[in-house]
Amino acid sequence: MTSPPGAGRFAPSPSADLHIGNLRTAVLAWLFARSTGRRFLMRVEDLDDRTHPEVAERQLADLAALGLTWDGPATRQSDHPQRYDDVVDALADRGLLYECFCTRRDIAQAPRAPHAPEGAYPGTCRNLTDAQRAQRRDETGRPPALRLRTDTAQFTVHDLLHGDYTGVVDDFVVRRGDGVPAYNLAVVVDDAASGVDQVVRGDDLLSSSPRQSYLAHLLGHRQPVYAHVPLVLNADGARLAKRDGAVTLAEIGVPEALGRIAGSLGYRAHTVAGMLAEFDPARLPRTPWVYLPE
């Protein structure tokens, strides 16, 4: 009996309309999946309270307008909260979680061990006693976040564009104080549940992949194939944003957007089907694309 095919995916957060950089990453995710015979899945990451259903619908319409196809209906994280709760409960049963009462300011101001990575959690709440936790709960007046009690400081993943990448693994949050599953947990749980074994996304997320891959390892899941693609920047070298002018599909138009994306990747074809015929991961640009509205 053969195992079912793996899958790639695109997982937008519906907080704003997709810009040309998001659309380019979506095209690349589709090209990677289809060129390797994988299914391609669409997942709306709508756990955050800043997301909006109407934005999600526009995002899906834009992706379809470019010619992208996906297998089965788009899924939404908000449709299966029990999935995350079950994993959190299982980690707690293994003694791998602890309550954290720190704010971002607390973490930024906390003393660090020599050579500790910038931004890594310093372990302030890791070894609190029951009495100390009760005291912190009374002092803060807010529910704690839950952090993963890790047993390593770093983890290595392999990326098709970046090679082996070793990054920080600290005691990262798996559930926020408001009860919402943290991104690093939700993305791992969702990918495993849907059979995703190929993750293509912007290279600003490369540094988060060791944490996610480490968690997948703890949960008994295989590490996916990663490909972190270069971002699209504005004329000032900053990440592309709405303030940079005509950047959404509604503003650019489908033919122009496809042409600009194809040109940025060195393709002659101006359709996703045509790009697929030319697709070669080894020839992909390794540097950011600077987008200038015309």
pLDDT digits (tens, 9 = 90+) for 35-54: 999 999 999 999 988 889 99
Residues at the annotated binding site for L-glutamate? 9-13, 45, 183, 201
Question: Quick one: 97 and 210 in the same domain?
Answer: yes
Question: Quick one: 202 and 125 in the same domain?
Answer: yes
SS3 233: strand
Q: Which of 173, 151, 183 is nearest to 99 (CA)?
A: 173
Question: Quick one: 271 and 152 in the same domain?
Answer: no
Question: Quick one: 102 and 196 in the same domain?
Answer: yes
Give the pLDDT score at 108.
Answer: 84
Q: Read off the tokens for 140.
A: 């803060």
Which residue range forms the structural domain that includes residue 54?
Answer: 7-79+230-290
Residues at the annotated binding site for ATP? 242
Give the pLDDT score at 258.
Answer: 98
Residues at the annotated binding site for Zn(2+)? 100, 102, 121, 125
The 10 Å CB-count burial string (b at 16+, else e) for 26-38 is bbbbbbbbbeeeb
Edge-to-edge strand list for the sheet holding 163-168: 163-168, 154-159, 225-229, 198-202
Give the pLDDT score at 1.
Answer: 47
CA 291/CA 110 separation, integer angstroms: 39
Q: Locate tokens 């909006």: which residue? A: 52
Give the pLDDT score at 5.
Answer: 66
Show which of 224, 253, 270 is a domain's final residue: 224
Give the pLDDT score at 7.
Answer: 98
Give the pLDDT score at 241.
Answer: 84
Give the pLDDT score at 116.
Answer: 65
SS3 23: helix
Residues at the annotated binding site? 9-13, 45, 100, 102, 121, 125, 183, 201, 242
Question: Quick one: 173 and 188 in the same domain?
Answer: yes
CA 177/CA 170 separation, integer angstroms: 18
Asked if residue 180 is part of any domain, the answer here is yes
| pLDDT per residue as tens digits for the range 197-225 | 999 999 999 999 999 999 999 999 999 99
SS3 225: strand
Question: Quick one: 74 and 86 in the same domain?
Answer: no
Asked if residue 1 is part of any domain, the answer here is no
Asked if residue 154 is part of any domain, the answer here is yes
What is the distance, to the nearest Å, from the Cα of residue 175 to the centroid of all Cα atoms in its chain? 16
Question: Quick one: 105 and 213 in the same domain?
Answer: yes
Asked if residue 205 is part of any domain, the answer here is yes
Q: Read off the tokens for 243.
A: 């303030």
Q: Read off the tokens for 29.
A: 């995710």
CA 169/CA 213 separation, integer angstroms: 10
Give the pLDDT score at 49.
Answer: 83
Residues of the chain with pLDDT under 50: 1
Asked if residue 2 is part of any domain, the answer here is no
Give the pLDDT score at 245.
Answer: 87
How many Cα atoms sit within 13 Å of 86 on the Cβ side? 8
Q: Which H or E element spans position 164?
A: strand 163-168
The CATH number given to whatever domain includes residue 25 is 3.40.50.620
Question: Quick one: 108 and 204 in the same domain?
Answer: yes
Question: Quick one: 195 and 108 in the same domain?
Answer: yes
